[in-house]
Structure 1
Amino acid sequence: MAMSGGSDDGQPMMDINTTPLIDVMLVLLIMFIITIPIQTHAVKVDLPVNDPNQKQPAIDPVKNKVSIDPTGAIFWNGTPVDRVRLQQYLEQSVTMNPEPELHFQPDPKAKYEVVDQVLAVIKRSNVTKLGFIGNEQYYNDF
């Protein structure tokens, strides 16, 4: 039976009582949220096994570093090389797609003649991505 709307006209109230409907909907929503299985997102990746005996590639496909120490020795990614081997590595790296960056870092005490010769080798190999590393160490000299 419907109750009177508060007026004394004696007419029954024609609006539906939505409070129980909302309560039931909230209970159903909470039950639905609780019963949803927890979703686990897993990406299966086969990681390489670290083998200390494995030889590292001479040319890194991302970036390579040519450095010169104070005695004039030339290093390719930390391995000592001569100018001929440096030229071979540079020619191989230029043919890679995309071409890896070449970072050039001479020691401040290295002879200019050796640095100039290495830069000539780099220029002859047509390297397009070249960056000088360590120039900030000279900012107080000038």
Structure 2
Amino acid sequence: MGMSVGDKGEDAPMSDINTTPLVDVMLVLLIIFLITVPVALETIEVELPEVAYEPTTTKPENVLLSIRGGTTGGACDVYWGTAPVDSSQLLDRGQKKLEKLIEDIGGVENITEENFPEVHIRGDINTPYQCIGGVIYTMQFAGFQKIGFISQPEAGSATLGRI
């Protein structure tokens, strides 16, 4: 610690700023940040799945939907198979398909994972997410539990038996 001894006498005001307390505070803050940053950057060790394409097994009861976005004034074009549908028709057709399935298998108690239909969505690459999200929500509201996306694998990419 240093001390300034003035030449001009004891009555003259000292014009130098004492920076010692400022340096002390900055050093304390630096030490706090050095201790807390590694703690804040800790992550949980997770093994992420490899990106691979699994060939889909299409069952006749599955619903195939195709979605294109924004061709007519920002509206979403949704197709059930090859027939264009709007959101109310999509909901109605989905509910009717599930009702018919329940009737065909003899009641809700006979539903299994193997005989329950899935929704397969083929979305155009330029389709806004709001179009695809709306279709997902509508199909979940209709009662479908499994909704998947169909994609085109890159040329030369390998297919793995697991995802």
Q: Please, what TM-score do these two structures have when normalized by structure 2?
A: 0.42
Kindly name which structure, 1 or 2, has the bigger radius of gyration based on alpha carbons.
1
